[in-house]
Amino acid sequence: MAKALSLEELDAVFEVPTRAYIRYQNKKVVPFWFKRYIMRNKSGELEPMVLETSAAQSPHASFI
């Protein structure tokens, strides 16, 4: 079951520019999947694209 996102969280998700999303996929996700499923290296974790920030700092999340 997927977690329901608040409107602020959805805003942060859809605020990611396409260029940043494609760069993240090419630089982080593709190498992660290659290492994990082709090379069978189960160590390491995939870092999220949208970082959580506290509401006191900024109403928007920061991007990698």
Can you say how many angstroms the Cα of residue 17 is from the centroid of all Cα atoms in its chain? 12
- Cα separation, 43 vs 46, in Å, equals 10
Give residue 44's region: left, alpha or beta (phi > 0; psi -120 to 50).
Answer: left
pLDDT of residue 64 exceeding 50: yes
**How confident is the model over 15-61, as pLDDT tens digits?**
889 999 999 999 999 999 999 999 999 888 898 887 655 443 444 55
- Within 13 Å and on the Cβ side, how many CA atoms surround 39? 11
Which has more pLDDT, 56 or 3? 3
pLDDT score recorded for residue 63: 56
Q: Is 47 helix (H, G, I), strand (E, B) or coil?
A: coil
Which has more pLDDT, 45 or 63? 45
